[in-house]
Amino acid sequence: MPVDYSPWPHLDVAALPEPVRKFLLFTIAASLYTGVVVIVVVMAVATVNILTVLMASGLTEFSPLIAELGNLFLNVKAPA
């Protein structure tokens, strides 16, 4: 006999009315999309913060790539 690992083994999704199934699908899709958007925004903010620290610390003289990324994302010129 197969084991059902479902958190709601008594819930038969196929037996639900069509509007309820559509609402559940929409809710799941919206939560996944929101999670992806939050991750992308957090990574973008972290990238800008790291570039700001690197630009302010003067490490751009050792790495032209950091200077170019700072110019591109922050619109800040590297110190000469």
Task: Calculate the average pLDDT of the chain.
Answer: 81
8 part of a folded domain: no
| Number of compact structural domains in the chain | 1
59 part of a folded domain: yes
47 part of a folded domain: yes
Positive or negative torsion for Cα 52, 54, 59, 64: negative
32 part of a folded domain: yes
* pLDDT band per the 50, 70, 90 thresholds, residue 48: confident
Tell how far CA 39 is from the center of its chain.
Answer: 2
**Tens digits of per-residue pLDDT, 1-37?**
667 676 766 777 788 899 998 999 999 999 999 999 9
Residue 70 and residue 60 in contact, taking contact as beta carbons nearer than 8 Å: yes
| Average pLDDT, integer, range 45-71 | 77
Domain that holds residue 68: 18-74
6 part of a folded domain: no
Structure confidence at residue 10 (pLDDT):
74
Contacts 24+ apart (CB under 8 A), 4-8: none
Residue 46 and residue 54 in contact, taking contact as beta carbons nearer than 8 Å: no
Report which of 32, 35, 52, 29 is spatially closest to residue 66, judged by C-alpha positions.
Answer: 52
Structure confidence at residue 1 (pLDDT):
62
